[in-house]
Structure 1
Amino acid sequence: MLKIYKSMESGPLQELTLKTLEKGAWINIVDPTPYELKVVSNLTEVDPDFLRSALDDEERSHTDIEDDSVMVLTNVAVYRGGDSYDALPLAIIVSEDYIITVCLEETPVMSEFNERTAKLFRTYKKTRFLFQILYKSATFYLRYLRQISKLSDDIENQLRHDMKNSEIMRLLELQKGLTYFNAAIRSNGAVLDKLLRMRKSPALTPILKAYEEDEDLLEDVIIENKQAKEMVDMYSKILARMADTFASVIANNQNRVMKFLAAVTIILAIPTMVSGFFGMNVPVPFEDKAEGFLYASLIALSISTAGAIALWKKDMF
């Protein structure tokens, strides 16, 4: 899917086509075909490798400079539903005339830039628009991390009452999402630091034009990303300790069950042993009395009771 927008001076967002493409436009490409990439590359004179960089879902965040274009590849947070979270590469290419975004799928980050929010951004202010996308990406990490915190609290409360396998699997799913977020946020931080250094390069001034408000926005992005990094580190440790704690509880419960079953086995074996003694083909007490069976049963019951009391005192029950 390929859509082209340009901000009007009056505020609204105008949708263009490839035939009516104008300078200062934003080209948003989602899951593109080879033909779309070729056409956009020819029209904008942007390196095709820049356009294809976000199509590898395992691509790490980085920046590249080629001729008159700067490519910033960042990883954005994605919610998959349930307890599943992921991070996807998003390529943002800034040239002298256009800003281009490429991603494998629609993301909540880019969906925030639409006709309803058109007054909050300008496609022709490419540097500021780039930083606004990065800022929105950082805020979505913070939003999803708070969701993960609430979900982990819910899972913890349910596990306290009943340790179901489904809840443990939910916990593992959240841990996997935090692992993706951790790697993405760290690599995004490296990109932001590099952008801060690149802004001072005279060679990039025509592309990434420097304005004071843009510098402030970039600093805000760095602060938000650092906060997200701290949160993901904290939640990762909490979930890891929670998983270890419940693993210990499960192991302890299993040991208690095994102790109980061992104690029951011992108690049940006593009557069998007593009846075996009285069943031997040798003279035994009470063999010539009518009450012999009753006496044997009482002996078995007495020994079993004494054994049960002894095991109970040793905390086997």
Structure 2
Amino acid sequence: MDTVGAAGAHVSCAIRNRLYVDGKLVGSDLPLAELASHRSQENALIWVDLLAPSATDIALMAPLIGGEVALHHLAIESVLSGRQRPRLVRFRDHSLLHCRAVRYDTATDHLEGTDLSIFVLARALITIRGDDRFALGPVLEEWDDNVDLVTHGVGFLLHTVLDAVVDGFFEVIDTLDDRIQTLEDDLLLGAGPKNAVQLRSFVLRKAVAHLGRAVLPMNEAFSALLRQGSHVVAGDLVPYYQDVYDHTLRATERIDGMRDTIESILATHLAMQGNSLNETMKKLTAWAAIIAIPTGVTGYFGQNVPFPGFGNPSGFWFSLALLLGLGFGLYWSFKRRDWL
């Protein structure tokens, strides 16, 4: 998608936008020049989304921001660098929120993430996505279903985006939780190859660790948003942000629980392997003892001294009876102790 900017330049990345005036949607996916013409209106609210933009694309957003505000060069650098730690950074005239939307690919057992950077201004919200795996459909539907809240301005738009991100956290957590439950069942039932449980435990532990790096820092970001003087969250929107913040805390607790469960599975798997090895060693020891008996008998009667009845058939049968009697006696003793 190639969109002409306000100064006649071209935005090379995919771009979407909306314009609200007095809390009502008056246009979407407008040319940037037309969108910028409403920037000076006190009752106008602008949202712009850029998909994997370049530095030039971000610079072309200047007419939408206003001449009195300039995006800080450090903020632009951090957006373009990608894979930033989720956090809220405040500048003089605007704020920048980094977060990470996640989804779990069940086909490959791989956690996928989308870097999301959000510029928060007085009457404009600019979202920058690293890729299109974070869908905008649910966000736009939420805005359409709650048009009465659009009058709260940028704070409402930002809340909806963050709510969609946190909902994605719980979708991944539920998927991982189901896989951990299945892994526990396979461990107890002994299903699958011997090393399958251990390998799947490592895969799940890696996914949980990656998820934690996306979720845990969001607690600090929400605390900064809810802090007095943030100029982002209006009084009427505080309960909405507090609700999303509580969800993030709950997601953190569930991630900690999944970590403990996976560690418990690995410890149980190793303990079961140790018990299996002990059983094998007991059996090997028992059979070694059984084999030692006839070796000792035949060695004693056949190699050391002539045994009673040496040279007679009765001596042979006596030694054979002694060999079998001691062997079966030892076998019965081990069997009774459940060593065999």
Q: TM-score, normalised by structure 1?
A: 0.82
**Which region of structure 1 is more displaced relative to structure 2, 104-113 or 247-256?**
104-113
Contact 2:71–2:94 (CA<8 Å) still a contact in 1? yes
Show structure 1 runs of 4+ deviating over 6 A: 121-124
Deviation at 1:38, TM superposition (A): 4.7
Q: Which residue of 2 aligns with 1:26?
A: 47
**Unpaired stretches in structure 1, ≥5 consecutive residues:** none
1:152 & 1:101 partners in 2: Cα distance?
A: 34
**Which region of structure 1 is more displaced relative to structure 2, 29-38 or 98-107?**
29-38
2:60 & 2:205 partners in 1: Cα distance?
A: 41
1:184 & 1:250 partners in 2: Cα distance?
A: 34
Size of the aligned set, in residue pairs, is 309
Aligned CA distance change for structure 1 residues 57 and 161 (closer, same or farther; 3 Å): farther
Quick check: 1:2 aligned with 2:11?
Answer: no
Aligned CA distance change for structure 1 residues 278 and 91 (closer, same or farther; 3 Å): same
Aligned CA distance change for structure 1 residues 266 and 106 (closer, same or farther; 3 Å): farther
Q: Which residue of 1 aligns with 2:5?
A: none
Contact 1:55–1:103 (CA<8 Å) still a contact in 2? no
Q: Secondary structure, in 3 states, of the residue corresponding to 1:279?
A: helix
Q: Which residue of 2 aligns with 1:247?
A: 270
Contact 1:2–1:36 (CA<8 Å) still a contact in 2? no
Q: Percent identity?
A: 19
Structure 2 residue aligned with 1:154, among 167, 182, 203? Answer: 182
Q: Which residue of 2 aligns with 1:182?
A: 212
2:50 & 2:302 partners in 1: Cα distance?
A: 88
**Unpaired stretches in structure 2, ≥5 consecutive residues:** 1-12, 40-44
Q: Which residue of 1 aligns with 2:203?
A: 173
1:209 & 1:156 partners in 2: Cα distance?
A: 43
Deviation at 1:140, TM superposition (A): 2.0
Aligned CA distance change for structure 1 residues 246 and 17 (closer, same or farther; 3 Å): farther
Q: TM-score, normalised by structure 2?
A: 0.77
Aligned CA RMSD, in angstroms, stands at: 3.2
Give 1:180's aligned amino acid.
H
Deviation at 1:70, TM superposition (A): 0.8
Q: Which residue of 2 aligns with 1:112?
A: 138
Contact 1:7–1:13 (CA<8 Å) still a contact in 2? yes
Q: Which residue of 1 aligns with 2:97?
A: 72
Deviation at 1:121, TM superposition (A): 6.3
Q: Which residue of 2 aligns with 1:228?
A: 251
More relative contact order, 1 or 2 (CA 8 Å, 6+ apart): 1
Quick check: 1:126 aligned with 2:154?
Answer: yes
Q: Secondary structure, in 3 states, of the residue corresponding to 2:311?
A: coil
